[in-house]
């Protein structure tokens, strides 16, 4: 019988290790549990079990994300509320779990982006959050402009820029549809499900030729409507749709890659 913390806790909860990993997420010294989770029958008990088993500072119940600023609907179940630091691929991300969201499930997408960018590129991240895409990319490109509208997320974007020495990252507080520049970017990342509303603006920010990576929700097994929708845009020469992760029983989180050429 295995005695690592996940095995012990899974046995106590009466679930498999795979189910445990699906429903419980750790960010630094905090653990987030889905509040609609069928395993959370008695919050206090689960909170204390997690705190002691994983040597955590805090356990939170999570019920979803609110409004366009993506503020987590979250409640402290056990422990003390504090900032946490998540380390991924040698990069530190500091955040307050009660104020900002952290998309751990986008790790593969982040790896893909850091592989495809070029040293001489100027990139724009229109929805930067705390820098989850922007900071790793900043080490691979000439410059990345990282725009964020929520002052709480922007605060951590600045801290994370400094903490990781991301010198090529230019942080901008405000609405990414009002950037007072044109034709300056080789590549644009649009990591928000409302991104489609900002595509016309993104096309203005792009140089004569460039790439756009637009995040969207799509019906599982049928991405054809996205190929049609984005293929119709003027200047969009090629469209590719890639799955990032499963979002719900019927929908996937996808990225629409667009090659743009303005003639
Ligand atoms: C889904 S989060 C993604 C953050 C990041 N890409 C990640 O993967 O962690 C979207 C972010 O866009 C920000 N946002 C929403 N509307 C915006 C706008 N018009 N201009 C700039 N940022 C915006 C939200 O505050 C939120 O932090």
Q: pLDDT for 140-157, tens place per residue? A: 999 999 999 999 999 999
Tokens of 133: 């895409």
Q: pLDDT for 41-77, tens place per residue? A: 677 887 888 898 889 999 998 888 877 778 888 889 8
Inform me whether the pLDDT recorded for 39 exceeds 60. no
- CATH code: domain 104-261 is 3.40.50.150
CB atoms within 10 A of CB 211: 19
Whether the CB of 127 sits within 6 Å of ligand 1: yes
Q: pLDDT for 20-38, tens place per residue? A: 777 778 899 999 887 765 5
Q: pLDDT for 194-245, tens place per residue? A: 999 999 999 999 999 999 999 999 999 899 999 999 999 999 999 999 999 9
Residue boundaries of the structural domains of the chain:
5-82, 104-261
Atom of ligand 1 nearest to the CA of 68: 15
Atom of ligand 1 nearest to the CA of 134: 6
Instruction: Give the pLDDT of residue 41.
Output: 61
End-to-end CA distance of the chain: 66
Instruction: Give the pLDDT of residue 61.
Output: 87
Whether the CB of 147 sits within 6 Å of ligand 1: yes
CB atoms within 10 A of CB 71: 16
Nearest to 148 by CA among 172, 118, 121, 124: 172
Chain-centre distance for alpha carbon 255: 12
User: Distance, CA 147 to ligand 1 centroid (Å)?
Assistant: 8
In the CATH scheme, what architecture does the domain 5-82 have?
2-Layer Sandwich (3.30)
Q: Which helix (H) or strand (E) holds 154?
A: helix 151-164
Inform me whether the pLDDT recorded for 82 exceeds 80. yes
């Amino acid at each position: 019988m295995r005695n690592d913390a996940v095995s012990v806790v899974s046995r106590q909860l009466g679930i498999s290790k795979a189910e445990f990993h699906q429903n419980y997420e750790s960010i630094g010294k905090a653990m987030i549990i889905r509040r609609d989770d069928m395993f959370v029958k008695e919050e206090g008990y689960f909170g204390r079990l997690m705190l002691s088993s994983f040597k955590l500072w805090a356990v939170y119940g999570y019920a979803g994300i609110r409004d366009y600023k993506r503020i987590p609907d979250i409640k402290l179940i056990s422990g003390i509320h504090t900032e946490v630091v998540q380390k991924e691929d040698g990069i530190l991300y500091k955040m307050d779990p009660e104020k900002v969201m952290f998309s751990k499930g986008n790790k593969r997408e982040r790896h893909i982006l850091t592989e495809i960018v070029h040293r001489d590129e100027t990139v724009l991240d229109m929805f930067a959050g705390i820098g989850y895409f922007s900071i790793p990319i900043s080490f691979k490109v000439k410059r990345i402009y990282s725009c964020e509208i929520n002052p709480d997320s922007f605060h951590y974007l600045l801290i994370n820029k400094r903490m990781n020495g991301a010198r090529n990252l230019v942080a901008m507080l405000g609405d990414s549809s009002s950037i007072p520049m044109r034709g300056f970017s080789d590549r644009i990342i649009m990591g928000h499900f409302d991104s489609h509303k900002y595509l016309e603006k993104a096309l203005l920010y792009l140089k004569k030729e460039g790439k756009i990576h637009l995040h969207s929700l799509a019906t599982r097994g049928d991405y054809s409507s996205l190929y049609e929708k984005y293929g119709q845009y003027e200047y969009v020469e090629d469209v590719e749709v890639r799955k990032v992760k499963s979002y719900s029983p019927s929908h996937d989180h996808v990225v629409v890659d667009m090659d743009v050429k303005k003639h």
